[in-house]
Chains A and B, each alone.
Chain A
Amino acid sequence: MSVSIRLSYTVSSDDFTRAGEASSDVKGKLKKLGFSPDVVRRVAIVMYEGEINMVIHASGGKIEVTITEEEIEMRLMDTGPGIADIDMAMQEGYSTAPDAIRTLGFGAGMGLPNMKKYSDEMEIDTKIGVGTTVRMKVVTK
């Protein structure tokens, strides 16, 4: 059996309180589909961090999720400023987030490291002035 479910979301950066709605929806669906709590939580964490990044560092974007029995693939695409130095951005504690974001609880520079840690595969494709695409995979077994 090879079922494949595709979901797509538009993430707006207008309203910070709504950031995370896409991740919440995916989490709910994975839970209903019967994936293990560990898989569901790892997808939720990495997608939520990615979604927050799209909102605070780019101006929103699109997320596509493909769910199969073997893996969950997430593709987060934005047309934001891009990342100048990926190695630097991947370091724990590195953040260019403004203070206003920090008072909301984000901007600790732990997002990308968390995404790397809790996904099984992660790839960043970015170009200054063009945008960033982050692709992540969580395998189910």
Chain B
Amino acid sequence: MPVNTQQSYEIPPQVSVRPERFGGLVYRYDNRALYFLHSRPLVDFLVELDGEKPLGAALEEFVAERGLDEGEYRALENALDQLEGKGIIREL
């Protein structure tokens, strides 16, 4: 299921994200699962994700700030789809 870019998203309290040189690590306390994320932009986006605006707007702003291209935007969006499936982000 693709993320709904009209909606705001957040990182649930039982999830922790830690930036690393290769990208970052995500840990879910509730099921003790550890995930390796291999994209630093994705990790930076997650760390900044505060649920204040719809996901699409937050993404566009992030991409503009970083000067990322359309392909990188799509890659982020796809990665967020997967993270939602794993319970790492959730709709507010």
Q: Are the chains A and B members of one assembly?
A: no
Interface residues of A (CB under 8 A from B): none
